[in-house]
Chains A and B, each alone.
Chain A
């Protein structure tokens, strides 16, 4: 069981979350062409080792999170909300 420390809810089983994908993918503008979109949607670095990825706390606060995790050992190095404003907000709150 991977245990994920949700910045909002606290530490939970990974089964509460939905794995998204590689968070390093930069999605092109909606106006961009099919070639750029094809690369972004269909092709993956598929990192062996530490990667930055998205998870969604589906059965919890429903935040999308950015997690740094090793894909070999599943060890987690960092977790933050994907949305920078929410990240800021929770950071401030936790400091109080």
Chain B
């Protein structure tokens, strides 16, 4: 690793930690309905919205009603996104005249965006109209993120309230999250990105003349569209000349900001933030990378603030950092180390003033290895899933790190809201085991962790694990699943495992290589994303409801403190053992074998 690389990583993390506190405290005020100065600007908008929708923000909901609201809202979202894609050909803002997307792809994309996964089986610039990008995808980028945050806030209220039957109002939490948090931050980020070259256009795609026209071998096709083979079985080609290029355009900036801030990750373009119109410069890359972790890290402090003990929030943030910081360094280090095969061929892969060195395959030269490694680790830690480089082209162990971060259950930062409520589930399990070790019925934030909470927490851990494992098993055992695998050997296995981890944990990042736009992967993926999202949200809200009912137990000397380094270490141990160890056998057949064999 170069000194420059170390320095960059430190700066990235330092900025996140500095920004986390003020934003975290601000968000706590938003959800406690005291957004102070912002309230004066945006309050009328909030109230107007309630009036239009007939919402009474003061009306409290029990956990079941809250959960039902989340699910109904999301189901309507899936339907809307699906329909817009299916009829986009007849709608406006479609200068390229894209026809309707296929039913399976529309389904996959709809679930993907509503569940905050943003798995991209579509290629935005080849499939979707501007209207679809704006009215379907961007809208879901906002509301799916706000839904995750709302569920988290409801859980926090469960800890906070004493002998209560309600955990807040979903519609109010949703509205506040969008109006006071996501919208202002997105406006700021979008305005910052536009001057750097992120486009915002409603016009047609541009066709430009190439500076240097070139010729290439174009495979000849028969009447059925199949390639024609000669007697030796090789493809028959003819020379063709390329003199023009079509450059896709679109309203990118408005979508880009919330794509990063809301841990969405579904890019306007197929190559996501590797595309120069999404992420043109190292500075835009810095801003977009920071946007990945900004809200997830700040929410930790929102949690501490709302639970009346800031140390609890810091403890969780530190636990996340303790896992992510070394893995970021390690990933950058492994990528800088380069390709072992090249090394044996005597190729110089050292960084120098003339070359970046290391493994540059699949990475943009304007970002280089360090910025790509930071993005790769952060986007998988937080369930963002956007990319600025192709993870499939990472070295075997370098690529294992993003996969591992997903399989840890998207709790190391994780999605906005969803990451932290996942982390709190792990904290509950940790408190349970550690609490027993000190000889008391375990308590977390003054609430006793009993049978019901354990049942729900165990279900959460189980469901995500099951979805990944069963999904992968089906894919590698069926023809339809195997058809999507493009690489032989353990690498092909990694692609499938990565995809299903990404589905179930609602990350959305892809290992590339896998051809996911088939009815099999579209439908399987859609179902798994849906279950991975809502079969976690429901037990989380059930825990919130159960905790809210309990009395608050004041902490004493015999109470296990949950803000200490010891607890943080214990928590990380549980996450690693439950998260990572259960994947060890599968990882051994994928990336580990991949690495060891080459």
Interaction A to B? no
**Which residues of chain A have a CB within 8 Å of any CB of chain B?**
none
